[in-house]
């Protein structure tokens, strides 16, 4: 990778405009680890950044990532929108550098890979890599997404077979099928989808006469939601995670 100045590195990571980033460096608020521990670096020096490189800004630890790939455990009562209508935005759960990362497109910061309803919990991916977002969300790539759901009324095997064979939604004459489906309790089901239509899980269950009262996304691709990631918490996706997702 080409060497860049420390202000440019900070700018690429979402720490503000180039002028603000230059001011942070000049005031001694930035330390960078180039292999010999954290040290203050003059803004005239250049750095060859690499993923995972450690630095501090105003005492807060951060890692350099050329592209941001993030997993958030979405809690209930949040909207997947930068301009939420009634509930807090999921983006408010992320640190400001992730929300401010510069982008060549008009959208600044990381973007959600698809959306979950405000009352739906579980795995939500976010990134500033447009190709990754398209690959993970496009139905052409058939990335499986697993949902755990609870219904108001009891379920049975007939419902399972209907969902596997396909149901017709009111705005699409082509039947929509579950990739996999299994009962996990009298009112509980695990449902796997490979496309992401609007309110798809709720509408599919509605098409077979059931109301969903609880919905949680537990898996995307080959990766499950980590048990140690509490609702509202986020973490960087590792290289191993990205392989599992793909």
Rounded CA gap, 104 and 67, in Å? 13
- Phi then psi for 61, rounded to 5 degrees? -70, 145
Instruction: Give the residue among 101, 94, 90, 28 at the shortest CA–CA distance from 64.
Output: 101
Quick check: helix, strand or coil at residue 22? helix
Query: Exposed, middle or buried by CB within 10 Å (0-12, 13-18, 19+), for 50?
Result: exposed
Quick check: helix, strand or coil at residue 218? strand
- H helices within the chain, ranges in order? 6-12, 18-26, 96-100, 130-137, 157-165, 200-207, 239-245
Which residues are the active-site residues?
Answer: 117
């Amino acid at each position: 990778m080409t060497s860049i100045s420390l202000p440019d590195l900070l700018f690429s990571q979402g720490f503000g405009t180039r002028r603000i980033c230059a001011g942070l460096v000049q005031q001694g608020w930035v330390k960078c680890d180039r292999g010999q521990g954290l040290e203050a670096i003059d803004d005239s020096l250049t750095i060859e950044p690499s993923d995972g490189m450690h630095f501090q800004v105003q005492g807060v630890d951060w890692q350099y990532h050329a592209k941001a790939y993030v997993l958030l455990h979405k809690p209930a009562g949040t909207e997947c929108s930068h301009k939420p209508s009634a509930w807090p935005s999921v983006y408010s759960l992320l640190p400001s550098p992730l929300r401010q990362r510069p982008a060549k497109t008009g959208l600044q910061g990381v973007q959600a890979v698809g959306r979950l309803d405000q009352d739906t919990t579980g795995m939500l991916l976010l990134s500033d890599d447009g190709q990754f977002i398209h690959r993970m969300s496009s139905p052409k790539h058939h990335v499986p997404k697993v949902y755990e759901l609870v219904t108001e009324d009891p379920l049975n095997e007939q419902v399972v077979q209907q969902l596997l064979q396909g149901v017709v939604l009111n705005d699409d004459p082509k039947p929509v099928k579950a990739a996999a489906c299994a009962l996990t309790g009298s009112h509980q089901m695990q449902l796997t989808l490979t496309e992401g239509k609007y309110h798809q899980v709720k509408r599919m269950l509605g098409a077979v006469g059931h109301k969903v009262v609880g919905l949680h996304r537990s898996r995307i691709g080959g990766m499950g939601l980590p048990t140690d990631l509490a609702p509202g918490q986020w973490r960087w996706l590792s290289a191993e995670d990205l392989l599992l997702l793909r």
